[in-house]
């Protein structure tokens, strides 16, 4: 369980191992737990959304749950997104881009990237209504039972909250397994990129595939295919700009994949 606990400590603010005694044996095995940690985060968000839904109007509830999501992940991936936007679009060559990404100060591109992503993520989540594809999935029978007590829109939003963190952390594994570390010196993402292979990408893909099929039926495969295509294009684009991946670009990949999940859900739902 050390690999799982270390992944949970790394990806969340849960106070595990304050004395720093948990040491993973193999970082390749650690990344296999990333989507499962995402499922734990999603489960927490779904449970937290229910009381907020009955206390506040929907427009406020949706904003608060995005804030809870940011807090529980300590804005780790948003920080990577801001640094990636500053570096990729603020530098004119690989060396300058990597140098800008190491700067702790946020620039105009990073601020614009954060505003656009959080705004789109909030609006996309707030726009989720009664998704028709969910009724034709294996989960549909549960929806019919729960709809007597809970509104279908609430069920759909809780389902999206459950799956969104899984997609983001799977995308990180995909980016790490299909890329090499872009920097010559070690950094935050070097241990993840160094220990992740294509085999780990295949293993970690099984969980989101099963979840998408259970909750969205055959349409779930289409949603996941859209996310895969966009993630591969993003990986190709970053590798073209800086020659590989860093910890910052892994965080940016996480955030963009979560947004693509919500947009794909609206597109097909």
CB 11 within 8 A of CB 76: yes
Mean pLDDT of the chain: 90
- Which pLDDT score is estimated for 215? 92
- Which pLDDT score is estimated for 22? 75
Greater confidence (98 vs 24) lies with 98
Cβ-Cβ contacts under 8 Å for 35 (sequence gap 6 or more)? 166, 169, 170, 173, 204, 207, 208
- Which pLDDT score is estimated for 87? 94
Share of the chain above pLDDT 90, in %: 68
Answer yes or no: is pLDDT of 71 > 80.
Answer: yes
- Which pLDDT score is estimated for 140? 76
Model confidence, pTM: 0.94
CA 212/CA 47 separation, integer angstroms: 19
The pLDDT tens digits for 125-184 are 999 987 766 767 788 777 777 766 788 889 899 999 999 999 999 999 999 999 999 988
Mean pLDDT of 182-201: 84
The residues pairing with 181 across neighbouring beta strands, listed in sequence order, are 245
Nearest to 179 by CA among 254, 115, 237, 140: 237
Mean pLDDT of 240-266: 95
- Which pLDDT score is estimated for 135? 67
CB 232 within 8 A of CB 163: no
CA 78/CA 114 separation, integer angstroms: 7
Residue 38 — pLDDT band, cuts 50, 70, 90? Answer: very high
- Which pLDDT score is estimated for 146? 74
Residue that has been written with the tokens 């990597």 in this structure: 98
- Which pLDDT score is estimated for 268? 84
Question: Using CA of residue 218, residue 62, residue 115, residue 41, what is the dihedral sign?
Answer: negative
Residue 208 — pLDDT band, cuts 50, 70, 90? Answer: very high
Greater confidence (54 vs 190) lies with 54
Q: Is 198 exposed, middle or buried (0-12, 13-18, 19+ CB in 10 A)?
A: exposed
């Amino acid at each position: 369980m050390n690999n799982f606990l270390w992944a949970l400590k790394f990806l969340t603010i849960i106070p595990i191992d304050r004395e720093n005694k948990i040491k993973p044996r193999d970082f390749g095995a650690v990344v296999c737990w990333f989507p499962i940690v995402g499922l734990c985060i999603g489960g927490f968000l779904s449970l937290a959304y229910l009381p907020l839904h009955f206390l506040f109007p929907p427009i406020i509830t949706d904003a608060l749950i995005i804030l809870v999501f940011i807090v529980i992940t300590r804005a780790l991936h948003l920080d990577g997104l801001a640094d990636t936007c500053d570096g990729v679009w603020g530098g004119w060559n690989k060396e300058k881009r990597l140098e800008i990404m190491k700067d702790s100060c946020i620039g105009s591109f990073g601020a614009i990237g954060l505003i656009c992503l959080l705004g789109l993520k909030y609006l996309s989540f707030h726009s989720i209504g009664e998704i028709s594809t969910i009724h034709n999935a294996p989960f549909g029978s549960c929806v019919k039972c729960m709809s007597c007590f809970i509104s279908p829109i609430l069920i759909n939003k809780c389902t999206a909250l459950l799956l969104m963190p899984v997609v983001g952390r799977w995308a990180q594994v995909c980016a790490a397994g299909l890329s090499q570390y872009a920097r010559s010196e070690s950094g935050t993402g070097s241990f993840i990129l160094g220990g992740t292979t294509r085999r780990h990408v295949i293993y970690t893909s099984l969980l989101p595939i099963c979840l998408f099929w259970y909750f969205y039926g055959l349409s779930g495969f289409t949603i996941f295919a859209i996310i895969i295509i966009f993630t591969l294009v993003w990986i190709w684009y970053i590798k073209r700009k800086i020659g590989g991946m860093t910890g910052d670009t892994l965080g940016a990949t996480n955030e963009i994949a979560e947004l693509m999940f919500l947009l794909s859900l609206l597109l097909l739902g």
